[in-house]
Chain A
Amino acid sequence: MSEEITPYQVVPKTPLAGSAAGDIREQGEITRRNFPFVLTAAWLALTAALGGLTSVLGRFMFPNVLFEPVQRFKAGFMSDYAVGEVDERWKDKFGIWLVRTEEIMYALITVCTHLGCTPNWLPTQNKFKCPCHGSGYYKSGINFEGPTPRPLERAKIFIDPSDGQIVVDKAKQFHQERGEWVDPESFIKL
Chain B
Amino acid sequence: MADLRALQDGIVNSQIWKSIFRVGIPNTNRKRVLAVLGSLILHLHPVKVRRSGTRMSYTWCMGGTTFFLFLVETVTGLLLMFYYRPTIEYAFTDIMDLREQAPFGIMREMHRWGAHAMVIAVWLHMFRVFMTGSYKPPREFNWNVGVILLVLTLLLSFTGYLLPWDQLAIWAITVGSSMARATPGAGNEGPMSGLIKLGDIRLIHAGDDARFALIGGRSIGPATLLRFYVLHCVAIPLVAGFLMAIHFWRVRKDGGISGPL
On A, residues with C-beta under 8 Å from B are 58, 61-63, 66-68, 115-117, 131-132
Contact = CB atoms under 8 A, between A and B. Distances in A.
A117 B168 CA distance: 11
Interface string B169-204: 001001111110000000000000000000000000
A117 B213 contact: no
A177 to B, nearest CB: 11
B77 interface: no
The A interface, classified by DSSP as helix, strand, loop or mixed, is loop
B218 A68 contact: yes
A66 B178 contact: no
A117 B222 contact: no
A132 to B, nearest CB: 6
B182 to A, nearest CB: 10
B178 A116 contact: yes
B254 interface: no
17 contacts: A61-B216, A63-B216, A63-B223, A66-B217, A66-B223, A67-B217, A67-B221, A67-B222, A68-B217, A68-B218, A115-B175, A115-B178, A116-B174, A117-B174, A117-B175, A131-B171, A132-B175
Nearest to A178: B194
Contacts of A63: 216-217, 223
A132 B168 CA distance: 10
Nearest to B171: A117
Nearest to B177: A116
Contacts of A117: 171, 174-175
Given A67-B217, A115-B179, A116-B177, 8 more contacts: A61-B213, A66-B217, A67-B221, A68-B221, A115-B174, A115-B178, A116-B174, A132-B171
Nearest to B221: A68
Q: Closest 10 CB pairs between A and B?
A: A116-B178, A115-B178, A115-B175, A61-B213, A116-B174, A66-B217, A62-B213, A117-B171, A63-B216, A68-B217
Contacts of B221: 67-68
Interface of B: 171, 174-179, 208, 212-214, 216-219, 221-223
Contacts of A62: 208, 212-213
B223 A116 contact: no
Contacts of B212: 62
Contacts of A61: 213-214, 216
Contacts of A68: 217-219, 221
Nearest to B194: A178
A66 B175 CA distance: 21
B50 to A, nearest CB: 41
A190 B222 CA distance: 40
A105 B176 CA distance: 33
A131 B219 CA distance: 17
B219 to A, nearest CB: 7
B208 A66 contact: no
A117 B214 CA distance: 17
Given A62-B208, A62-B212, A62-B213, A67 B175 contact: no
Contacts of A67: 217, 221-223
A117 B174 CA distance: 7
Contacts of B174: 115-117
Nearest to A60: B213
A116 B208 contact: no
A63 B227 CA distance: 12
A58 B171 CA distance: 26
B175 A116 contact: yes
A94 B167 CA distance: 19
Nearest to B173: A116
A68 B217 CA distance: 8
A68 B221 CA distance: 8
Nearest to B175: A115
